[in-house]
Amino acid sequence: MGRKGEMATEAKYSIIREVGRGNYGVVYEAIFNQTRNKVAVKRMQCNVPENVELALQEFWALQSIQRQHENVIQLEECILQNGQVFQPISHRYRKSNNHLLLVETCLKGRRCMDLQSACFLYFVMEFCDGGNMNEYLLSRSPDAQLNNSFMRQLSSAVAFLHRNHIVHRDLKSDNILISHHQGSPIVKVADFGLSKVCQGKGNVNEHCFSSACGSNFYMAPEVWECHYTAKADIFALGVIFWAMVERITFRDGDTGKELLGTYIRQGKEFIPLGEALLENPTMKLQIPLKNKESMSPGLCKLLHDMLTFNPKERLDAFQLEDRIRQISYGQKHQRSVSER
């Protein structure tokens, strides 16, 4: 990436500032010099196998989507840095085995183009000016209409991903970005480093996974046992929806940051919802937790059906999308009647 304001690849992009940093990558606000449009550039250093795997998983997930969805972050292109050589690898070439081979060869540390040095992979994506959903919601007063809009958008995004056989596996409010480009806030599901692209045809819910991954407070009970399906994404959405509607938060133990998320309190400890349900599968969740006026009976039932212990009884992404449409329609109809 180089010095501030500079990025190789013939000065195609200019870096403005750093906007986020995690364990595996750094995100920058940048300018596409040809159009002067803002973009986000995520840089991942591929110097250890764990980083390589995350980079490849994100690349495979984003480039495998055949058509874009407005609530899924849009990948503009990938750029592979191998030493001083920068190789653009656009998602438009997803059908070319040569490009995928180039990425895998370089990132896995094998000799490529007679160079053998540290590698970086840059993801150039659409820029979201509203930050992440956690910061966005906690900086504003509770808004039922905004909550409903976010739930509709997120359920639509996850249904789209599951139709395309992509399981996110790390849904949380920090991994959901907000864009204002079209006036009203638009959510964008992002950060696909832990995602899986399921091979073959058929229902995505028939694929099983055995690697426990994700963030503790959003993990389904079966993820803790390392045997789960795409329905784990629905449990994570249930945690997000419940926390969003009732503004339930906790403090991150490492950063002290306030985060949206539901949990079970045991004395002074906060136990992740999935872990608590694993210990006590018959536990009845108290929904709503704070205020009965904060949600309708339909929404309460929806959350129970998203957060059920048994994944076979849990909604899948397509059922969830339909249910939220029904709830939204009922609320609109009720408002129109009351306004007459």
Return the higher-pLDDT residue of 308 and 95: 308
Contact 189, 73 (CB under 8 A): yes
**pLDDT of 282 higher than 50:** yes
Nearest in space to 42 (alpha carbons), one of 65, 24, 69, 57: 24
Report, as residue numbers or ranges, the catalytic residues. Answer: 170
Query: Per-residue pLDDT tens for 10-58?
Result: 478 999 999 988 777 899 999 999 999 999 999 988 777 777 788 888 8
**pLDDT of 174 higher than 90:** yes
Cα gap 284→282, rounded to integer Å: 6
Residues of the chain with CATH 3.30.200.20: 13-126
C-alpha Rg value of the chain to the nearest Å? 21
DSSP for 218-253 reads: G--HHHHTT-B-THHHHHHHHHHHHHHHHT-EEE-T
Cα gap 311→51, rounded to integer Å: 30
Please give, one letter per residue, the 3-state secondary structure of 84-113.
Answer: CEEEEECHHHCCCHHHHHHHHHHHCCCCEC
**pLDDT of 256 higher than 90:** no
pLDDT for 338: 55
Return the higher-pLDDT residue of 190 and 109: 190
pLDDT band at 329 (very low <50, low <70, confident <90, very high): low
pLDDT for 292: 80
Nearest in space to 307 (alpha carbons), one of 246, 239, 243: 239
Cα gap 79→90, rounded to integer Å: 8
Return the higher-pLDDT residue of 157 and 181: 157
**pLDDT of 114 higher than 50:** no
| Strands 258-260, 263-266: pairing kind | unpaired
Query: Per-residue pLDDT tens for 137-155?
Result: 999 999 999 999 999 999 9
pLDDT band at 62 (very low <50, low <70, confident <90, very high): confident
Tell the residue number behind the tokens 């509607």, with chain if given. Answer: 245
pLDDT for 243: 97
CATH 3.20.20.80 fits 13-126, yes or no: no
pLDDT band at 1 (very low <50, low <70, confident <90, very high): very low
Cα gap 228→280, rounded to integer Å: 18
Q: What is the end-to-end Cα distance of the chain in Å, rounded?
A: 59
pLDDT for 200: 77
Contact 275, 266 (CB under 8 A): no
CATH topology of domain 133-338: Transferase(Phosphotransferase); domain 1 (1.10.510)
Nearest in space to 85 (alpha carbons), one of 110, 131, 42, 120: 120
Query: Per-residue pLDDT tens for 117-136?
Result: 667 889 999 999 999 999 99
DSSP state of 216: G
What residues contact 187, with CB distance under 8 A and at least 6 apart? 71, 133, 150, 153, 154, 157, 176, 177, 178, 179
pLDDT band at 239 (very low <50, low <70, confident <90, very high): very high
**pLDDT of 311 higher than 50:** yes
Mean pLDDT of the chain: 85
> Average pLDDT of 189-215?
91
